Amino acid sequence: MSRKDQQLVPISLTDLEHNAHVTMSINALDYYRSGANEMQTLRDNQDAFSRIRLRPRILRDVSKVDTTTTLLGHPVSSPICIAPTAMQRLANDAGEKATARAAAKAKTCMILSSWSTTTAEDTIAAGREIPVDTETPGLPLYWFQLYVYKDRVATEQLIRRVEKVGYKALVITVDTPFLGRRLADVRNVFKLPPHMTMANFENKDSKVTMATILDQEEAAMEAAEALLEKNGAGKKKETRVIRQESSLAAYVVSQIDPTLSWKDIAWVRSITKLPIVVKGVLTAEDAIMAANIGVEGILVSNHGGRQLDGVLATIDALPEVLEAVRGRNVEVYLDGGVRKGTDVFKALALGAKAVFLGRPILWGLAHDGEEGVSLALSLLKQELDLAMALAGCCKISDITRDYVQYGHAARL
C-alpha cells in the first residue's frame, strides 16, 4: 500500500494529522510538526490536558447548546480560533486564502502570520469574498501577528498596511528573539520552495524584501564556508552541517530584533489605535507587566513547543497568568496542544476566553485546502458542543472552574 492509500476519512483532528503525515513532503511535514530540541514541551502541551479531569453536572436541559462568544468585543461563533502559522502554501497552494475563507465561513477569528506566503491584503480580501450568512450569529474576524523587525520603519509600514485593510488587532509575538532549534529542519536543510515568498515583504515599497532574506542566507553560507576553509576542514559533510543552521534561523537573526523589550510594546501602543495582544506569555510576572503596559489581550503560548524546550505546557501555565491579571481589563487566550472538544472545554473552565489552533489548521489545509480547514474547525466545534452538553453547560459562560479538577484522585 502506498503512503497516500493509508489516508483515513477524517472524523477527528487526529485523523487529519494522520492524513497529513501520509501525504505531505517530508520537508514541509517536519517543519510543521517539529518542536524544539527534544520536543518535551511539544508533547507536554497535549499530555497536560489529559492530567485534568472533568466534573460534569447532570439532569440539566441541554437540548440547546450555544457556543457563541466575543473576542475584544467582536462576536464569533465559538471560542475556537486560528493561530498564526507561517508559510501556509507549503500545505496547499491556496494557503492563507483558503484559511481566511474557512475562517469567514466558520465566523471565527484568524490570526495571519507576518511570515505568510500570501499578502495581508490578499488574505483578508479572500475571506471577504465569502458572503456573510445573517442567519447564524458571529462575524469573521482577522487579527495580524507582528514580528517586530530591527527596522522600525518596516515594522510601522506593515502596521499601517494591516490597519488600512481592516485587521482588528495586532498580536505581537514575544517569544522569538531567536529561532528555537528544530532539529528536523536543520537535518532537512529546510527552505521555502523557490515559487513561494514571504509575501508581505515582496512589495516594491517594502523595506524588508525577499532579496534581504536571500542575501542573509547567502551571507551566512559564505561565512560558514570561509570558516571551514580557514580551519582547513574542507569536508563537504561539515560544510553541509554549518549551512543547515543558516536559513530560517539566519533570517530571524538578521531581521527580528532580539533587543525587543517592554518599551517596544509601549512604542507599538503609541503608534496604533489597534488593540494589542501579547503572544508568548507563560508567567504571572510577565502577565502583570503586560497588563500594566495596557495591552488588551494575552495569548498564553509556548509557540507550539517550538521555541524554548522544557517550558510548562500552556494549560499548566494558564492558571498563574489568569490569577495574576484577575480584575484587570485584559482577555486571556491559550494555544498549544488543543486537539479535542474537551481540551477547549478545560481551557475555558480554567478561565481562557478562547483557544487558538496551530497545527490542526495546517493538517486541514494539507488534507483538502479550504474544505479541510472548515472540516478541522467544524469537527472541533461539534466536539465542544457535545462536551458542553454532556457536562451540563448550555452556554460558554456556564463553563467555570467547578467543572475541572487536577489528576484522577477524588476531591477531598
Ligand X SMILES: Cc1cc2nc3c(=O)[nH]c(=O)nc-3n(C[C@H](O)[C@H](O)[C@H](O)COP(=O)(O)O)c2cc1C
> Residue 252 binds what, of ligand COI, ligand X, none (CB under 5 to 8 Å, by partner type)?
ligand COI
Could you say which of 45, 119, 176, 188 contacts ligand COI (CB under 6 A)? 176
Query: Is there binding between residue 179 and ligand COI (CB under 6 A)?
Result: yes
Nearest distance, CB of residue 388 and ligand X, angstroms = 21
Interface with ligand X, residue 167, by CB under 6 A: no
Near ligand X by CB under 6 A: residue from 79, 337, 351, 372: 337
- Residue with CB nearest ligand X? 358
Nearest to 69 by CA among 59, 80, 60, 61: 80
* Dist. CA 298–CA 283, nearest whole Å: 11
Number of H helices, E strands in the chain: 15, 12
**Residue 173 interacts with ligand X (CB under 6 A): yes or no:** yes
- Cα(159)–Cα(315) distance, integer angstroms: 31
Applying CB under 6 A, the span of 49-57, 83-91, 319-327, 346-354 interacting with ligand X comes to 83-91
Which of 20, 83, 98, 348 contacts ligand X by CB under 6 A? 83
Residue 133 annotated as part of some ligand binding site: no
Q: Within positions 50 to 109, which residues make up the interface with ligand COI, using CB under 6 A? A: 86
Residue 45 makes contact with ligand COI by CB under 6 A: no
Q: Is 381 in the site for ligand COI (CB under 6 A)?
A: no
From 335, 343, 370, 383, residue interacting with ligand X (rule: CB under 6 A): 335
Instruction: Return the number of the residue (148 or 357) whose C-beta is nearest ligand X.
Output: 357
Q: 149: helix, coil or strand? A: strand
What string marks each residue from 249 to 268 as x (binds ligand COI by CB under 6 A) or -? ---x----------------
Torsional sign, CA 156, 161, 165, 171: negative
Contact call for residue 148 and ligand COI (CB under 6 A):
no
Distances in Å between the alpha carbon of 384 and those of 261, 347, 404, 408? 37, 11, 15, 22
Query: Would you say 67 or 145 has its CB closer to ligand X?
Result: 145
CB proximity list for 337: less than 8 A, separation 6 or greater: 44, 45, 46, 47, 48, 49, 304, 313, 314, 315, 343
Of 180-188, 204-212, 283-291, 300-308, the segment contacting ligand X by CB under 6 A is: 300-308
Q: Backbone phi, then psi, for 52, in 5-degree steps?
A: -100, 135
Q: How far is CA 339 from the centre of its chain?
A: 13
Question: Residue 79, interface with ligand X (CB under 6 A)?
Answer: no
* Three cell numbers, residue 100: 481566511
Tell me, rounded to whole angstroms, the distance of Cα 155 from its chain centroid.
20
Cβ of residue 257: shortest distance to ligand X, in angstroms? Answer: 15
Q: Is 303 noted as a catalytic residue in this protein?
A: yes
* DSSP state at residue 79: S
Residue nearest to ligand COI (CB): 86
Contacts of 218 by beta carbon, 8 Å cutoff, 6+ apart: none
| Binding at 346: pick from ligand COI, ligand X, none (beta carbon under 5-8 Å per type) | none
Cell numbers at 85, concatenated: 502559522
DSSP 51: T
Rounded Cα distance between 241 and 354, Å, is 41
Measured between its terminal Cα atoms, the distance across the chain in Å is: 53
Distance set, CA 1 to CA 4, 5, 6, 146, 338 (Å)? 8, 6, 7, 44, 31
Please give the radius of gyration of the chain, using alpha carbons only, rounded to the nearest integer: 21
Among the candidate windows 156-164, 266-274, 352-360, 396-404, which touches ligand X by CB under 6 A? Answer: 352-360
Point out the catalytic residue in the list 21, 74, 195, 303. Answer: 303
105 binds, among ligand X, ligand COI, none (CB under 5 to 8 A by kind): none
**Residue 120 marked as a ligand binder:** no
In 3D space, the residue among 383, 338, 358, 397 whose CA is nearest the CA of residue 68 turns out to be 397
Say whether residue 306 binds ligand COI (CB under 6 A): yes
Mapped onto helix, strand or coil, the DSSP state of residue 130 is coil
248 binds, among ligand X, ligand COI, none (CB under 5 to 8 A by kind): ligand COI
Question: Could you list the active site residues?
Answer: 303
Which residues are annotated as part of the binding site for glyoxylate? 31, 147, 182, 303, 306
Residues at the interface with ligand X (CB under 6 A) = 31-32, 45, 83-86, 113, 115, 145, 173, 279, 301, 303-304, 306, 335-338, 357-359
Which residues are annotated as part of the binding site? 31, 84-86, 113, 145, 147, 173, 182, 279, 301, 303, 306, 335-339, 358-359
